[in-house]
Amino acid sequence: MLHSFLVLLFGLGLTAARLTSETEIDVDEGRDWDIVDINEGAGLDLLEGDIKLEEPLTRNIIIGDKYRWPTTVPYYLEESLEMNAKGVILKAFDQYRLKTCIDFKPWKGEKNYISVFNGSGCFSYVGNQRVGKQQLSIGSYCDHLGIVEHEFLHALGFWHEQSRADRDDYVDIMWDQIKPDKKNNFKKHDDAVSTALGVPYDYGSVMHYGKMDFSIGSEPTIVTKIPQFMDVIGQRMGFSASDLTKLNRLYNCTSSSTFVDSCDFEEDNICGTIQGPGKAKWKRRSSVRGGPKTDFTNMGQCQGKGYFMHFSTSSAKTGHQAFLESRWLYPKPGVQCLQFFLYSTAAADDVLNIWVREYDQANANGKLKLFKSISGGVQGSWELQNVNLNVTKKARVVFQGVRGKRQSKGGFSLDDINLSSTKCPQHIWHIRNIKGQMAKTPPGKKLFSPRFLSTAGYSFQVGVYLNGLSSNPDYMALYLHLTSGPNDKKLKWPCPWQMATMALMDQQSDIRQQMNMHQMITTDPNKKSSDGTEFFWDDPRKVGSKVTDSDGSVYYRGPGYGTSTFITHSRLRSRNFIKGDDAIFLFSLEDISHLLKPQSLPHSALHADASLFKAADQGAPEEAVINPKMLGLLKAADQGTSQEVVINLNMLMLLKAADQSAPQEAVINPNMLMLLKAADQSAPQEAVINPNMLMLLKAADQSAPHEAVINLNMVGLITACVAAAVLVVSLVMIGNICGKKKGKGELSDDVLIIKHVPGSLEEYPTKGSFFTTP
């Protein structure tokens, strides 16, 4: 109970004691948040819980081709997003690229694009609305891979799975258990206006409601007609196989962007692999006397199936070699990840080499390049291997087995090979006999991984509560800890913007079918203890505790940051998270500090401000309502402009003065607000305004209290600003202001170039300088 109380206390930010290795902060406050929970907590009332719908649009979006995006979708990450959310979104894009033909690229001025922002909850429109900037919210608690994939599937044209026309054949909706004002969320979509694309009902879809969504109490709102699927519906691990089938059919995908090859050796053609030169050979086997007894794909569970490739070093002579070469492969130039499972019963001096044979005009027979050598030795189990490749041409992957001099009783066995144009996880943690460990481990007892080094040199480890905390004993809990290491004196502290990706591997043979369970954590160097005296991600020697490892080594372990609801035990037993009584975790710790810099806006997005302000100041001033904080938002909104923009000095000073001293009562021309709101939807492509500015202006107008009025003096200020903007346009076009001519290249003394610097505005006079207009 004490441990649970401390975890809750820390999770609520109420700690007062100094940070130690026992300190644990729960990013989800001890709750297993689903999208419905997040959005209800944020006070949102959206269609089906997370769908934005503009009238008079109807629910036939998935049918109409005009609502499809191109297979390469433009996106913009707004500055409001949290750093961890940005990293998770990019990881979700990697999953789309790996498993579908859908790709995402930064917005470069395309007419329609998805703008992702930190709103109140997680929500999206369904399909391409063709409105220019289409918003998608990834707010607090939404930064989970499955949730991000879910919201982008909405944007790509998907409704919820339980809204299908045939859903009553598979689930029962418990209407008496649904909150009265939420029953409309359980309406079905008629098959005349929505389609399942010929795919059977999918209990495991990432688009399916959970069993308790919108419940009035503790009873479920959805009951599956097949009982064993009650704890399956509502998963947010990632795409199911049916999700991928539907998406690929919807967009006519025939291949994915980054997937290259997968082989489990179940087919007689052994995936097109060939034997290379050598006196020894690789052979297809279902078992070997010295081990393995089964393949890895099926673990002996499928009679008549279960094959792997084996090179027997026990029967080969010293120095003999065996080559197993893949078919010709055409990966995208750059980094690739080769994953495979290896079972070694070879002698310690036997070697398995991984080569790539690249072909070009100068090397018609291919040129070999070595990427990894693995020494033999009896392991007695299937072990996952990751090898980072760098292939730029047509190539084959080559597995070379070499017989050493020592006596061997076995050899090398290979199974479940995957190649993709992605980065490999940095580290692997193989937990053996996990069922036995769970049977004897009480809640609240923590199992620590070995310590690992990131590519930047930070040392870290992961702590896992196999049976959770006493407050959540039906879950596995997971926490990241920084630890002291060999590079600490050279590193920056507090640790800045390193994103940890911790994934429990779904050990499916084909990487496209894996539904790994992910948790991402980012080290914010500004995060402090609740009393403000210590930095949470500081050097573990300062904010950690000295610990002694089982091998006698001594080091410092910092506080933990993670979740007590990582995965339920029922989900842990599903899929292939546990295979052969083993579980595998994949870890990476990567620098994402580059995401601090705002995403660059297209050149065309910098043109519209002056013309919009000029048009806005037409018509008689009338009293209108606007949020008194609007000017502060104006000042903060136009962040992310990566190029220099010109603004009149008077306008700058007036805006600054207004932000600091504007009275609570004021009046502003309503036409100006109307035009600014309309600009986001109707502005031509060559006259686009900063999307952050538009979002904030729209929010300011919508959220204004009726009693908030601006005085008439503000009209004068705004009018002066508008006039100044018009003068600037004239200056750019004819090189003078108010008839005062300058020499070529000169600017008025009243003009500044405002250059964006993160967190500030940089001002400097421009008299005598040159500039290029956008």
Q: Give the C-alpha separation, 407 to 169, whole Å.
A: 62
Please report which helix (H) or strand (E) contains residue 568, including its range: strand 554-568
Q: Give the C-alpha separation, 762 to 756, whole Å.
A: 7
Does pLDDT of 349 surpass 60? yes
Query: Which one-letter DSSP state was computed for residue 579?
Result: B
Contacts of 527 (CB under 8 A, 6+ apart): 494, 535, 536, 537
- The pair of structure tokens assigned to 690 is 């900063």
pLDDT tens sequence across 635-667: 444 443 433 333 443 444 444 444 444 433 333
Residue 550: the pLDDT is 87
Q: Give the C-alpha separation, 550 to 448, whole Å.
A: 11
Q: Give the C-alpha separation, 745 to 601, whole Å.
A: 26
What confidence tier does 443 reach under pLDDT thresholds 50, 70, 90? Answer: very high
Q: Give the C-alpha separation, 612 to 149, whole Å.
A: 36
Does pLDDT of 704 surpass 90? no
- The pair of structure tokens assigned to 220 is 């479920």
Greater confidence (377 vs 54) lies with 377
Residue 682: the pLDDT is 40
Residue 402: the pLDDT is 97
pLDDT tens sequence across 390-435: 999 999 999 999 999 999 999 999 999 999 999 999 999 999 999 9
pLDDT tens sequence across 725-740: 444 434 444 343 333 3
Does pLDDT of 388 surpass 80? yes
What 3-state class would DSSP assign to 745? Answer: coil
* Cβ contact 554:19 at 8 Å: no
What confidence tier does 221 reach under pLDDT thresholds 50, 70, 90? Answer: very high
Residue 489: the pLDDT is 96
* CB-side neighbour CA atoms (13 Å) of 488: 18
Residue 607: the pLDDT is 60
Q: Give the C-alpha separation, 30 to 477, whole Å.
A: 10
Lowest model confidence (mean pLDDT) among 306-310, 475-479, 538-542, 698-702: 698-702
Residue 269: the pLDDT is 95
* Cβ contact 314:413 at 8 Å: no
* Mean pLDDT calculated for residue range 215-221: 95
Catalytic residues: 151
Residue 63: the pLDDT is 57
Q: Could you give the angle at which helices 670-682 and 609-616 cross, rounded to 10 degrees?
A: 140
Q: Give the C-alpha separation, 221 to 692, whole Å.
A: 39
Residue 20: the pLDDT is 95
Greater confidence (751 vs 232) lies with 232
Residue 4: the pLDDT is 45
Does pLDDT of 534 surpass 60? yes
Greater confidence (149 vs 752) lies with 149
Q: Give the C-alpha separation, 641 to 609, whole Å.
A: 12
At which residue do the structure tokens 């081709």 appear? 65
Residue 696: the pLDDT is 42
Report CA-CA distances (Å) from 393 to 276, 329, 354, 611: 20, 9, 17, 50
Strand partners, 24: 560
Helices (H) and strands (E) in the chain, counts: 14, 35
Residue 248: the pLDDT is 95
Q: Give the C-alpha separation, 38 to 122, whole Å.
A: 7
Greater confidence (677 vs 105) lies with 105
pLDDT tens sequence across 115-148: 999 999 999 999 999 999 999 999 999 999 999 9
What confidence tier does 751 reach under pLDDT thresholds 50, 70, 90? Answer: very low
pLDDT tens sequence across 192-212: 767 888 999 999 999 999 999
* Mean pLDDT calculated for residue range 439-468: 97
What DSSP line would sit under 308-355, residue for residue?
EEEEETTTSPTT-EEEEEPPPB-PPSEEEEEEEEEEE-S-TT-EEEEE
* Cβ contact 260:331 at 8 Å: yes
Residue 62: the pLDDT is 54
pLDDT tens sequence across 577-618: 999 999 999 999 999 999 999 999 987 776 654 444 444 444
Q: Could you give the angle at which helices 609-616 and 712-734 cross, rounded to 10 degrees?
A: 140
Q: Give the C-alpha separation, 230 to 174, whole Å.
A: 13
Greater confidence (26 vs 752) lies with 26
Output the average pLDDT for the chain.
81
pTM recorded for the entire structure: 0.78
* Mean pLDDT calculated for residue range 426-446: 96
Does pLDDT of 56 surpass 50? no
* Mean pLDDT calculated for residue range 170-176: 97
Residue 91: the pLDDT is 98
What confidence tier does 530 reach under pLDDT thresholds 50, 70, 90? Answer: confident
Q: Is 160 marked as binding a ligand?
A: yes
| Percent of the chain surpassing pLDDT 90 | 65
